[in-house]
Amino acid sequence: MTLLRHYINGKWQESASGRVREIRSPHDQHVVVQATEGNLTDVLNAIEAAHTTFESGIFRSWSWQDRQSLLLRIADLIERDADIYAKAESGDTAKRLIEAEYDIADVISVFRFNATLKEPGHSVDIGRLEIESRIAYEPVGVCALIGPWNYPLLQISWKVAPALLAGCSFIVKPSELSPSTAVLLMHTLTEAGVPAGVANLILGAGSEVGTPLTSDPRVDLISFTGGLATGRAIMASAARTVKKVALELGGKNPNIIFADADIDAAIDNAVTAGFLHSGQVCSAGTRLLVEASIHDRVVDELVRRADEITLGGPDNEAAETGPLISEGHLNKVLGYIERAVKEGATLRVGGKRALAPGLEAGWYIEPTVFDGCSTEMASVQEESFGPIITVETFTTEEEAIALGNDTIYGLSGAVWSADLGRCDRVAAGLRHGTIWINDYGPYRPEAEWGGFKASGVGRELGGSGLHEYLEAKHLWRNTSPGRSGWFRDSGHP
């Protein structure tokens, strides 16, 4: 059985504790791989490697063009090994292989896009010929890059690519449930020519190895994608040493359908928005807001479509979506379903663990639709991260906006209408980081991604994603220096 190990200062290492974790398939619980389980000693070693390497200047001294070329080499190598990456991603998460293949293609695009970004910096004209004033950008320093389990390599790539371009050193901490592709990435970075100590990898549980990363004063930035509770803890920990933080903490995303929309397209996209990857998507359209006059038509069809979805493992070519990541997460989602029923929501389809032949050993939940929901319900307000769509109704444009904003989150949302003026008004009124108009779900590495309110701080992707890893420095040069003359000087002639 393969053992995944830490990668620290250019060397593959087992944990100082000697402990090992089994990574089991969410589909049938077979052991996919084993991973070394890190502890504080391992984390401190990784931080020291990253800190020493950054201070040495061995990588941040590279030219911007050389780092751009590095990203292109990384993209080419991942493309060469795309099948290996996709199988590893599918193995850990049990997502369908075709979904993993799409994810790896997106990873390649992320590295290639970042390679196109120009070195930032500009001059400041202050109106004095003897003064040269300019703004330069330098790498922020040592970065802790903490990723989630649902899109393991993709979300890590959103962090690693700009960190490398900026000239930072870093420690990657993938989810303990899906570490395989992060290990492969370290092999790729080394082959591409990243100097030893620049890219480091720590494996293990967040409580064991994630917490020290967020509190050590030698870490200058924390980029985290994951749950709200952990994000709050990271912000509190980072405050003690006044670190930069970039947090993407999920959402409770409204998908708003007006009566004049292309109803067939809206319903089809609603099915995908809510049930892709069994709802384990931070931008999942789990809140469906439907204009009252088309409620029955939309919901009846949504229920019919949800009931037809085929569940299955990564090797089942007929499967349309897969299992939840773990038994603990399955029980959490079932708890949300039970609570929704108690709160008075109407269960229209699904609502229980899927135990059809071939699924019994996995963590599957039937695609679920609740009707008659309101914003007072926990199922509407809290992110279940499972295959649950809640349905609310509205009658006016203003009500749709108010409902869409009635959440602590603000990651994404969508509006469906043939009236483009209405679409623009609703999009402007919604306090969410991404709004799709007559569509749901696509993203591009060229466009910023991130949320308002409790969905996080900072942005990934786009030009703003790079700037998270840079510090601005003002450089003032006087080409004709002289005395300031501010204070009296009796000794000066």
CA distance 13 to 15: 7
Do 251 and 434 contact (CB within 8 A), yes or no?
no
Q: Output the furthest CA–CA distance in the chain (Å, rounded).
A: 99
CA distance 279 to 441: 12
Do 188 and 78 contact (CB within 8 A), yes or no?
yes
Within 8 A by CB and 6+ apart from 99, the residues are 90, 277
Do 103 and 153 contact (CB within 8 A), yes or no?
yes
Residue 282 known to be catalytic? yes
- Residue 307: phi and psi, rounded to 5, are -70, -20
Angle at 411 between CA 409 and CA 415, to 5 degrees: 105
CA distance 248 to 412: 12
* Helix then strand then coil, % of the chain, to nearest 5: 40, 20, 40
Do 142 and 163 contact (CB within 8 A), yes or no?
no
Q: Which residues pair with 133 in a beta bridge?
A: 476
Q: Name the catalytic one among 176, 248, 366, 468.
A: 248
Residue indicated by tokens 């049938």 = 28
Q: Name the catalytic one among 143, 168, 282, 423.
A: 282
CA distance 43 to 211: 10
Q: What is the DSSP string of 327-368?
A: HHHHHHHHHHHHHHHHTT-EEEE--SB--STTTTTS--B--E
Just list the catalytic residues: 248, 282
